[in-house]
Amino acid sequence: MTQPYRLHYAPDNASLIVRLALEEMRLPYEAVLVDRRVAAQKSAAYLALNPHGRIPVLDTSDGAIFETGAILLWLADRHGAMMPPPDHPDRGHALKWLFFLSNTLHAELRMLFYPALYVGEDATHQAALRARLRQSLRAHLAQLDSAAAAGHSWLNGPDPSMLDYYLATCLRWITLYPVDQAGWWDRAATPHLEALCARIEARAATAICAKAEGLGSHPFTRPAYPTPPEGSAL
């Protein structure tokens, strides 16, 4: 790599997961603010990088990459870290859970946080969608807690993985959002996920990212709403 990566980010958005991975791997990068207060993610310049207008984007020597899971997998394979390599027997298991986080857990969280994007402005429809999603998410979290208890190297293992950082960030959001319904998830019901959050919170990468994005001193075990030095999380 001849030049640092450029991470297009907004505080406490999905870009946080990529930022954590970059810091954990000690890779040089430039953080470029996408200011959500002025809908910069919908600007022509940003849409040229990600036509879907979502955060994050990682600029690389191979071009711009979007979608959180794709960025994490690309970084892991490019730098040989934080995921089982392609020829490892655990590769398929790690991939299926990484895609579960990306395609199922994260996707359902987006619907929970932004129901109007999926069912419109009707409050009854939004409430019904959120109720179904909370039921579904509780089941997902129970499954993830069991997986985190199983002793895999790629989830809640001795060394942090891409899945660990992805999951810890999702658990942070689940605690805080939706703002008007925070606290719907009983964290005590998933003790192995709590242990994962504590392990990841103790990493130097977490401290660096928490300071950069105003996440407080306990971003995963006792999450607080962000007070970023620049930009906005919403």
DSSP assignments along 67-116, one per residue: SHHHHHHHHHHHHT-SS--TTSTTHHHHHHHHHHIIIIIHHHHHHHH-TH
The domain of 102 spans 91-203
Give the mean model confidence (pLDDT) for residues 65-91: 97
pLDDT tens per residue, range 33-49: 999 999 999 999 999 99
Provide the whole-model pTM.
Answer: 0.96
Identify the CA nearest to 2 among candidates 41, 59, 87, 70.
Answer: 59
**More confident: 25 or 3:** 25
Output the domain CATH number for residue 187: 1.20.1050.10
Please tell me the total count of domains within the chain.
1
Binned at pLDDT 50, 70 and 90, residue 2 comes out as low
What share of the chain in percent tops pLDDT 70? 99
Binned at pLDDT 50, 70 and 90, residue 234 comes out as confident
Is 193 within a domain? yes
Is 156 within a domain? yes
Is 74 within a domain? no
Is 197 within a domain? yes
Is 222 within a domain? no
User: Counting Cβ atoms within 10 Å, is residue 122 exposed (0-12), middle (13-18) or buried (19+)?
Assistant: exposed
Strand partners, 64: 59
Is 12 within a domain? no
Mean pLDDT of the chain: 96
What share of the chain in percent tops pLDDT 90? 97
Is 182 within a domain? yes
pLDDT tens per residue, range 184-207: 999 999 999 999 999 999 999 999
* pLDDT in the model for residue 1: 43
* pLDDT in the model for residue 106: 98
Place of tokens 């991975």: 21
Is 132 within a domain? yes
pLDDT tens per residue, range 109-153: 999 999 999 999 999 999 999 999 999 999 999 999 999 999 999
* pLDDT in the model for residue 233: 84
